[in-house]
Structure formats: C-alpha cells, structure tokens
Amino acid sequence: MAGNPKVLISGAGPVGLTLANELARHGISARIVDRSTARTDKSKALVMWSRTLELFDDAGYAKDFMSSGMPAHGAQISTGRQVVARVPFDLIDSRFAYALMIAQSETERVLEERLATAGVTVERDVELTSFVDKGVCVEAVLTKAGGQRETLEADWLVGCDGAHSTVRHGLGFAFEGSTLQSHWALADGHVTGLDPADHLHIFWHRDGILAFFPIVGDRWRVIANLGAAKDGETRPDPTLEEINALMARRGSPGIVMSDPVWLAAFRINERKVRDYSRGRVFLAGDAAHIHSPAGGQGMNTGMQDAFNLAWKLTLVIEGAATPSLLDSYSPERTAVGDRVLKNAGRLTEAAMLRNPLLQDLRNTIVRFAAGFPQVQHRMADQLGEMDIGYPDSPLTARNGQVDNGPKAGERWPYRLPDGAGGYRFTAVGPAGLVADLAAKFPRLVVAAPTRDPAHATALRLIRPDGYVGFAGAPKDVGRAEAYLAALASEA
C-alpha cells in the first residue's frame, strides 16, 4: 500500500504484526514497514502464554497458531536427579491452561500470512529513518533499499521496532536500566534424555542455571548462564561440545544435544522507557521494554501492548471516542511492564545465585513453598500473565463489589461472545439495560444480555481487550452511562 495511512507501524516483528492484524480486523488503514529483507528464521520467543492465547481467541485467530506449536503442560525445577518444584500449567486460570510452544519464526509467519489475507503486505527493505510529530499528523520519512526516500503523513505512528527502536530514539526517550553482569549461551537443536517431554525443565546447579524449552518433536531450546561479564564484554558463540559439556555437568544424566540449528552467546538487558507515548507517537514491545527471557514474557507482553492499543486507536480514528482515550495506554502498559521486569528480574536472580549457602536456602524455600497448591496456582497464573489487570487505570470505574464476579480493572474470564465487541465495549447485564446502553452509545457498545442468572444482578462494561471497565449493580446504570459519555467523542 502506498500513500498516507491512518497508522504507520515501524517494525514487523511479532508485536508490529499483531498490531497490524488487529487494525486490519477493525478496518483501519495501516502501513507496516520493516527494514529487514525477510522475517526472522530464529526460534527466539518460544512461549505463547495463556493470556495472549485468550486475546487471539477473542480476536478469532488463536487456532491459526495451534498447528505450528505444541502445548507444554508444566515446568519442573530440579537439581540433578532431584525434583525441587513442579508448576503444573493446568492450574492456570484460563480456557488455555497450558503454554503453547511455538518458534517465533512460525508465530511471525502465521501473523504475516493472516495479514496478507486481509490485504495488507509488510513492506520490507523499508526503514523508518525519521519523523516529526506535527500535532495534526506525523510526517515520516521511509528509506528504501536503494536509498530512495518517501515522505508520508500518518495520523498516528507506532514504534514496534525492537530494542534499538528508531522511534524511541526519535522521541528522545531514555531506555533506563542496565545490562546484567553475566554471559549467557543458547542452543537450539535435537535433545534426548528429557522426561516429561511436554514440560519446561530448569536445572539449578552450583555453577548456574540450565533451562530447556520444548519446541516441537525432539527439538529443544537450551539456555545457560556462564561466567561473570564486564561492561561491554562479549563472548564467541558456544560450540555444540561446550553445550553438551554444560548439560553433562548441570543436568540429569543422559541429556544430549545433536544437530544444532542455532548456537549463540548473549547478554541480558533489563530496560524500560518511562512513558510509552508522546503526542501522536507510541511505543510497543521491545521498543519499550526488554528483560531477561526468564518467564518467557517479552513477546507476550509486547503483543498485549498491541492488543491494548489497537482498539483504542480504532475508536479514536472512527470518531467514536475522544482522543483522550489514548492517554490510558501508557499508564496501563507501563504498570504491566514494570511488573514483568520485576518478576523476570527476580527469577533470573534466583537462578544466578552463586553462594552455595544461599543456593541451599533458595532450594529449601522453593521446595517448601511449591508444595502448597495455592502457591503453585499463583506461580502458574503469573507465568500465564493471567494476573494482569488495570485496577489503577484512568479507564477503570470503581463502584465497590457488586457480586462475586470480576471487579472493574480485572480480567473478564469468559470468551467474548462471537461478533460482540470487536473494538467496542460489550455491555453484560440484564437484557433491557444493556440494550438501552447499546442504543444510546451505538458506536461504543454492543449488548450481551445475561443468560446466566448469577450475573443478572450486575451490570458490566467489558473492554474490547477483555478487561472489566465498569462494574456496578443494575441500579448504577446512570454511572455506566456517565462512564461511556466521558469516553464518547463529541464529534
């Protein structure tokens, strides 16, 4: 597509592709450019967690990922042959109570192919080189492979352009944080000797961590921390012999890798911007936050940034909501980013302990705590990103507890009714009330009368991304109207 789109997306990694798909689903014109010639062929982010799957399911395309991935049903932490803790993923409070293991190269393929069927092609070999927010639009300069330049105007620009984001640099936003003082190695290849094969396996050894993530068949990703690192120091990529030596030393006996397709050394950064937006420009995904792969939440968090932003942009572009709706994106997602960084940091610190006394203490505490089903449940929900909510968001209307169902700011645990919502709120409650709301705010709300008598005593407005915006009793309908009136565009 040439010309001026409503939204220009810089970067066609998993986050940019998710955003482009969502905007296409909502009928918004967008261009998506990527400076690379081709999609990644690396497995990078391997885990698609439950909450991300729910969001794709509400959007109607979770199933597209299923045939290219395989479910993992738990994580197991061991020291040698001894199991320290198990986290069963079937405890995750979701209709997707597992982790879908799928190589990032496949995730991107699925998303790009789906986007193409919606008539949007990723413009490759096209780099966003500069932009200016002119207040009424963003003027952006794209530079193509041969050096040819195009200047265009978009209503909104979203930087999904990864850890070295041009958009973030253009905004002058600091990427605050640090690089961990340790070297890491990864290997992707065929592994035998791990049981059960549908689990993530983490070995805590005196020397450090060794973690295995199933990919498909007998293909696994292995990650290990190596020695301490100095500022700016890098290491050569590991050899297969080095990886097998690490496995023999840190894992349980008999684990062997062959035929690696990817061997790499890497360092871990923990960084985040303070704000995810300014004016008509937004950041999402690694452009806004990067952290340790512990927990496997980087890509998931980025995709959820995209889901959060897509419906808000759509309602504003459609003229259905006031532009101030977009002001909620940054506070909502920075709070999530802070939490994800903190949790990943804690998991990484625990894995990297070197003092033998502290290691023993860690093992004892984790073995004890993980014996409690409630603790296992909490750990599983945290990994699956099921505990994310927006209690402090400006979009959350507090009316006290109305029934035993989800409160305002919490996740709506049910699938949104087919055809409902899309980019509009779903009003759930007594038939007459929700029909009235939908009639008064047709561009913001669709009605979903409650059939379940357990929910007939409450009135809720469910956001298009599956969080409760408003929860009240039927008598609070006036407040629900005020909530919607505050969002509605005066245009």
Ligand X SMILES: Cc1cc2nc3c(=O)[nH]c(=O)nc-3n(C[C@H](O)[C@H](O)[C@H](O)COP(=O)(O)OP(=O)(O)OC[C@H]3O[C@@H](n4cnc5c(N)ncnc54)[C@H](O)[C@@H]3O)c2cc1C
According to CB under 6 A, which residues from 321 to 380 bind ligand X?
none
Q: Rounded to an integer, what distance in angstroms lies between the CA atom of residue 318 and that of residue 203? A: 51
Q: Identify the bridge partners of residue 131 per DSSP, sorted by sequence position.
A: 140
Binding mask 38-77 for ligand X (x = CB under 6 A): ------xxxx------------------------------
**Which one of residues 36, 359, 399, 457 is an interface residue with ligand X (CB under 6 A)?**
36
| Segment lying near ligand X (by CB under 6 A), choices 34-42, 145-153, 369-377, 409-417 | 34-42
**Which one of residues 50, 104, 334, 343 is an interface residue with ligand X (CB under 6 A)?**
104
Cβ closer to ligand X: 58 or 161?
161
Cβ closer to ligand X: 49 or 470?
49
Q: Is 161 in the site for ligand X (CB under 6 A)?
A: yes
Structure tokens at 345: 């940091």
Q: Is 214 in the site for ligand X (CB under 6 A)?
A: no
Binding mask 186-205 for ligand X (x = CB under 6 A): x-------------------
Cβ closer to ligand X: 277 or 450?
277
CB of 160 to ligand X, least distance (A): 5
CB of 295 to ligand X, least distance (A): 8
Q: Is 302 in the site for ligand X (CB under 6 A)?
A: yes
CB of 285 closer than 8 Å to CB of 19? no
CB of 33 to ligand X, least distance (A): 5
Of the candidates 285, 290, 313, the residue with the CA atom closest to the CA atom of residue 11: 285
Q: Is 225 in the site for ligand X (CB under 6 A)?
A: no
Q: What are phi and psi of 435, to 5 degrees?
A: -65, -40
Cβ closer to ligand X: 104 or 450?
104
Q: Is 224 in the site for ligand X (CB under 6 A)?
A: no
Q: How many CB atoms sit inside 10 A of residue 381's CB?
A: 18
Give the number of residues in contact with ligand X, rule: CB under 6 A.
32
Cβ contacts of 438 within 8 Å, gap of 6 or more: 427, 445, 446, 447
Q: Is 162 in the site for ligand X (CB under 6 A)?
A: yes
Binding mask 236-275 for ligand X (x = CB under 6 A): ----------------------------------------
Q: Is 183 in the site for ligand X (CB under 6 A)?
A: no
According to CB under 6 A, which residues from 108 to 147 bind ligand X?
127-128
**Which one of residues 9, 12, 24, 353 is an interface residue with ligand X (CB under 6 A)?**
12
Cβ closer to ligand X: 35 or 411?
35
Cβ closer to ligand X: 16 or 466?
16
CB of 172 to ligand X, least distance (A): 15
Q: Is 13 in the site for ligand X (CB under 6 A)?
A: yes
CB of 300 to ligand X, least distance (A): 5
**Which one of residues 103, 160, 185, 447 is an interface residue with ligand X (CB under 6 A)?**
160
| Angle at the Cα of 151 from the Cα atoms of 146 and 156, rounded to 5 degrees | 125
CB of 218 to ligand X, least distance (A): 19
**Which one of residues 19, 23, 34, 483 is an interface residue with ligand X (CB under 6 A)?**
34
Q: Is 285 in the site for ligand X (CB under 6 A)?
A: yes
- Return residues touching ligand X (CB under 6 A): 10-16, 33-36, 44-47, 104, 127-128, 160-162, 166, 186, 285-286, 293, 296-300, 302
